[in-house]
A and B are shown apart, each in its own frame.
Chain A
Amino acid sequence: MDTITVTIKINGKELKVPQSITILEACRRGGIEIPTLCFLEDVSKNASCGVCLVEVKGARSLMRSCITCVYEGMELVTHSARLREARKTNVELLLANHPKDCLTCLRNGNCELQTIAGELGVKDERFVRTKKLELPDLTSLSLVRDQNKCILCGRCVAVCSNVQSVSAIDFSGRGIKTKISTYMEKGLGNVACTYCGQCALVCPTGAIVERDETESVFEALGNPDKFVVVQTAPAVRVGIGEAMGMDAGSLVTGQMVAGLRRLGFNRVFDTQFAADLTIMEEGHELIKRITHKGVLPMITSCSPGWIKFAEHFFPNSLAHLSTCKSPQQMFGAVAKTYYAAKLGIDPRKMVVVSVMPCTAKKYEAKRPEMMSAFEYWKDNRAWSDDDAFYDVDHVLTTRELARMFTETGMQFPALEPEEFDNPLGESTGAAVIFGATGGVMEAALRTAYEVVTGKALTDINFTAVRGMEGIKEASVEMNGTTVKVAVAHTLKNARRILEQIEKGESPYAFIELMTCPGGCLGGGGQPIPTTWDIRKKRAESLYAEDAQKPLRKSHENPHIAALYEEFLKEPLGEVSHHLLHTEYDKRPMLVKHMAAEV
């Protein structure tokens, strides 16, 4: 820590602050707000927007407070007529090229450009458009990029490169032609993009948004021939409240269920049921790999962004990935086989909608191999390929569900809490914490320990794998063997873990990797803004929900036991193999014949 302090004068008032912090930080510590636009704490300071300007005595021009450091004796003014004019002009210049279609933009009402324009009192359009209109990038199943709305703040580039080490996008061109591009303008769907959506989460405008599927879901709900079931991921219950105007991290499981019923879903189920199922399969897979000298370390496979990352960047290490499908996909496969048969309805008429904190899930659901239920039925029923259906039909992000609630006039905070339907709505505490980094590991350890040792855990809280640290480690004693495990979140940390494995230096048996900072609760489909403070609050709520659940270990879920007894028979069995497990593809970075040659 920097202990040297300097004395500066802000608006005539003296303030002691540590040396080497920025003016912006110093002002915030002194309780003075400076408006900002492109700046985003922990993510980027591109200093491109010119909104955070301040007057520094002796300086030739106005200074950008987000990148200018304080020095001893610095005197500055944060609010003056000159500053007001300059900030406003800079925003007006950005608005010259920004489309004026706020009313039909997904970010209407939650747009930093809109807000700042209002706050700075922009009243008319002084400047004319100078850039050519561009077509939106529709190549990805998860994200839509509209270059016209971009203000070149650089946050998406920073998050993609610095947090995720993916670098799917970067600036291109120069001067008036500067824009954010994928390689050769190929589009997100044709480059090594993981669809994690962190770019959408940090975008101040509507330049990168999730691919909206709300209309298709409304359509399915309005179709009397369809039986529409919904599953909700753990992280959604600590995010949706926020998006409906409640406090950050509000735990609203009951209201969410009530709201979904009011939207008209025939059954409201829980992805957490499938999370318990994942633990059964993945836990047994781990035990099998350890006892049968299989490929270790084994790495979790719940996070589709991480899967695509591994397929692009570490194609030779795919054997380390658990073959388990993610809970979303396990749910879809079970719903359209086991549950459809139980109800006696045609699986072709069943529509599975999932609500996820994630944009990559939209793509995961449309991976060609995710049609296990169709494969399961087609031979017996003599169906043709025209009857084909995906296990999961539509994936909504938390933000999209919030829009559906809002569109239907739901008074969300006032809803009376309701319970999930059974059997696919029952879950344990182990499944709840899937939504936080370290949660899948903890859930797996709770089950693996008891299955391997046959003894009950005295303390089921594995606190060493909790928290927001980038890479966490723990060791667990099982029948005299020490099992070393690791937990990492963000793809940059995943890269470190994978590089260690490829060097043959990984000391671990089991690793949990999550794409997004903080795990799913910080996913690319979560409410905007998502900051570290907010992530921590969401995590606290998930662990609180876990603590209050009567059952907290996946193998104790009675409906999971019934599912095995009636249908799957045993973990890693024949039926599981077809419905709950999958395989991975080596994905070239880009040009096919190059990949083959090199």
Chain B
Amino acid sequence: MDRPQTLSRELQAIDTIVAKHKGRHGELLGILEETQLLNEHKFLSEEALTYVSLKTGVPLSKLYNVVTFYSFFNLVPQGEHTITVCRGTACHTKGSRTLLNDVGLILGCSKELQNGESFFTTPDQRFSISTVACFGQCALAPVVAIDEVIYSNMTTAKLQKQLGKISKKGKRP
């Protein structure tokens, strides 16, 4: 296990981030944002958060407050690919509920999505599925973002095609 080593490398990087933001107004959000990007799986690990708390003097409970308030922050590892289904009003009327269900069926995680989880990562860590309230692309409804590319007028067939393309690329080594 090379865990301790990667950990300390991550911690060193956090030192730099904290030093860079020190004294700036609203420094905490910047620190957390960059700390999250450090992580291979784009999430804030317990170790990283504890270290940020230690370095900034912000109590752990307060950090937890901030990272659970903003949906940008992740407390669990993110999948290799992200699928974001818009559940805004326009997309909803154009059938985005069905699209979300389709994603579940295609990736084999229907049950989790039906339990009302707004965020879910497949056990193989390949896909993270989330929903948003609106992308601001209502004219193109329904929209689904795959790896931060927004696909408009989405249909089940198009969805299947896109996800198929990603799957064919093979698994991460």
* Chain B residues with CB below 8 A from A150, complex form: none
Q: For the complex, would chain B's binding face be called helix, strand, loop or mixed by DSSP majority?
A: helix
Q: Do B54 and A184 touch across chains, with their CB atoms under 8 A apart?
A: no
Measured between alpha carbons, how far is A170 from B59 in the docked complex, in Å? 9
Question: A-side interface residues toward B, CB under 8 Å?
Answer: 161, 166-174, 181-184, 191-192, 589-591, 593-594, 597-598
Q: Do A169 and B50 touch across chains, with their CB atoms under 8 A apart?
A: no
* Chain A residues with CB below 8 A from B53, complex form: 589
Other CB < 8 Å A-B pairs besides A170-B65, A183-B63, A591-B46, 18 of them? Answer: A161-B59, A166-B59, A167-B61, A169-B61, A170-B61, A171-B65, A172-B68, A173-B69, A174-B68, A181-B68, A182-B61, A183-B64, A184-B75, A191-B61, A590-B50, A593-B4, A597-B11, A598-B51
Residue with the greatest number of chain A CB neighbours at <10 A, chosen from B50, B53, B61: B61
Q: Do B51 and A167 touch across chains, with their CB atoms under 8 A apart?
A: no
With A591-B50, A594-B50 given, is the CB distance from A168 to B69 under 8 Å? no
* Chain A residues with CB below 8 A from B4, complex form: 593
* Chain A residues with CB below 8 A from B68, complex form: 172-174, 181
Measured between alpha carbons, how far is A168 from B63 in the docked complex, in Å? 11
Which of A183, A594, A597 is within 8 Å of B61, CB to CB?
A183
* Chain A residues with CB below 8 A from B59, complex form: 161, 166-167, 170
* Chain A residues with CB below 8 A from B50, complex form: 589-591, 594
Question: B-side interface residues toward A, CB under 8 Å?
Answer: 4, 7-8, 11, 46-47, 50-51, 53-54, 59-65, 68-69, 75
A–B Cβ pairs within 8 angstroms, 28 of them: A161-B59, A167-B59, A167-B62, A170-B62, A172-B65, A172-B68, A173-B69, A174-B68, A174-B69, A181-B61, A181-B64, A181-B65, A182-B61, A182-B64, A183-B64, A184-B46, A184-B64, A184-B75, A191-B60, A192-B60, A589-B53, A589-B54, A590-B46, A590-B50, A590-B60, A597-B8, A598-B51, A598-B54
Q: For the complex, would chain A's binding face be called helix, strand, loop or mixed by DSSP majority?
A: loop
- Within the complex, what minimum Cβ distance (angstroms) separates A502 from chain B? 14
* Chain B residues with CB below 8 A from A169, complex form: 61
Closest to A175 in B: B69
Q: Do A168 and B61 touch across chains, with their CB atoms under 8 A apart?
A: yes
Closest to A185 in B: B64
Measured between alpha carbons, how far is A174 from B54 in the docked complex, in Å? 25
Measured between alpha carbons, how far is A597 from B5 in the docked complex, in Å? 12
Measured between alpha carbons, how far is A591 from B54 in the docked complex, in Å? 12
Closest to B63 in A: A183
Closest to B71 in A: A174
- Within the complex, what minimum Cβ distance (angstroms) separates A134 from chain B? 15
Residue with the greatest number of chain A CB neighbours at <10 A, chosen from B7, B69, B75: B69
Measured between alpha carbons, how far is A395 from B127 in the docked complex, in Å? 52
* Chain B residues with CB below 8 A from A184, complex form: 46, 64, 75
Closest to B67 in A: A172
Closest to A591 in B: B50
Closest to A181 in B: B64
- Within the complex, what minimum Cβ distance (angstroms) separates A593 from chain B? 8
* Chain A residues with CB below 8 A from B69, complex form: 172-174
Closest to B48 in A: A594
Measured between alpha carbons, how far is A589 from B50 in the docked complex, in Å? 9
Measured between alpha carbons, how far is A173 from B66 in the docked complex, in Å? 8
Q: Do B47 and A183 touch across chains, with their CB atoms under 8 A apart?
A: no
* Chain A residues with CB below 8 A from B51, complex form: 594, 598
- Within the complex, what minimum Cβ distance (angstroms) separates B28 from chain A? 13
* Chain A residues with CB below 8 A from B47, complex form: 591, 594
* Chain A residues with CB below 8 A from B63, complex form: 183
* Chain B residues with CB below 8 A from A171, complex form: 65
